[in-house]
Structure 1
């Protein structure tokens, strides 16, 4: 049953930047480096969200089908789970993505907040800090996934931009024209040979 439910979670990979904003925390508590995020859902796994500065900080969460349905109810968007995942993807792909640090939840907890467009329902996903022992692996996996996404887009762009290959035209042999002077010279030489044969 769990495998069947997980198979319904399908969302294309999306990367972006989340602008850090504080609640009641001091500005010095905010990450000093840009924070990138990654959201994707495999066919046999939950929706996974990771945010990191690619150096020393990372937050993450995993949302199975039940969690996604609860989130859909909280946001107030109707339709199927697939429709909600499309809305999630569009929201994550917008330029309106922030990483908030609510004071009521402690300095370690963060919220990834995304808005598809002004006036539309806002997506808020709670993230938890990655354990120090797993931090290097999470950042390494994030970097490899980012490179794989970049490589896929480059290959797609290359296929679209490259012109269709046209087979080269078949070469035709040109018959060299014998010049008039050469023809005359050949005739003279032939006459000279005949004269020599006659005189011998």
Structure 2
């Protein structure tokens, strides 16, 4: 059994809704959310809902997915196919195709179609409409999983904020250290200039008038600049 489904990460998204039929979905919701996950290691489940009137579902076993791989024409290993399926579902080109019943606002059929990129093979799941308690349970589960995903993202965001805060503190400390080092270097430079000026006193004969004090002061100041 392909182990890749055991690590299948849940996927949420909003498909582009396309209607066919005489009524073309007049009066129906145009906003849906889909949820793709693996309830166990041998099944993939797709749930699509508008959280109000309509909820659809599709469950595929790994054997049905293998048949899909053959019919779609995705070469390579089982893992390659699952990676392609995930990339398609996460792409911007995921559509919910709804067929309206004649002279009715209700739907006759629904499909979730995903394509990794233009010109690539399409992944298609025929959906079954849920009613009654099954629909309520599916919406409740979808809501809970959405909240879990939100909490997970919120935790990652807070973790990133804390990391940025700590990094800012480290940068501030390092900047302060650099400023201290720079000040010490400037102070050492001035001390060296002062020492040179003091050493030059031995070479200046102030008693014979060759370098009067005024001229020496100018020389001393130039050494400190």
TM over 0.5: yes
Aligned partners of 2:100 and 2:108 also within 8 Å: no
Partners of 1:42 and 1:150 in 2: how far apart?
19
In structure 2, the residue matched to 1:130 is 130
Aligned partners of 2:56 and 2:129 also within 8 Å: yes
1:72 to 44, 69, 74: 69
Q: What SS class does the counterpart of residue 28 from structure 1 fall into?
A: coil
In structure 1, the residue matched to 2:118 is 118
In the alignment, structure 1 segments of 5+ residues that lack a partner are 170-200
Q: What SS class does the counterpart of residue 118 from structure 2 fall into?
A: coil
Query: How far did residue 20 of structure 1 move?
Result: 1.7
How does 1:1-200 map onto structure 2 within 5 Å?
5=1, 7-9=3-5, 10-28=7-25, 31-102=28-99, 107-163=107-163, 164=166
In the alignment, structure 2 segments of 5+ residues that lack a partner are 174-225
Number of matched pairs: 163
Distance 1:30 1:36, change over 3 A: farther
Aligned partners of 2:113 and 2:123 also within 8 Å: yes
Aligned partners of 2:17 and 2:30 also within 8 Å: no
Aligned partners of 1:49 and 1:61 also within 8 Å: yes
| TM-score between both structures, scaled by the size of structure 1 | 0.72
Aligned partners of 1:101 and 1:110 also within 8 Å: yes
Deviations 1:170-200 (Å, cap 9, x if unpaired)? xxxxxxxxxxxxxxxxxxxxxxxxxxxxxxx
Partners of 2:22 and 2:85 in 1: how far apart?
28
Deviations 1:83-132 (Å, cap 9, x if unpaired)? 2111111111111111113579x933210011111111111111100132
Structure showing the higher helix proportion among its residues:
2
Query: How far did residue 8 of structure 1 move?
Result: 4.5
Q: CA RMSD in A?
A: 2.6
Aligned partners of 2:10 and 2:38 also within 8 Å: yes
Partners of 1:108 and 1:7 in 2: how far apart?
36
In structure 2, the residue matched to 1:187 is none
Partners of 1:103 and 1:30 in 2: how far apart?
11
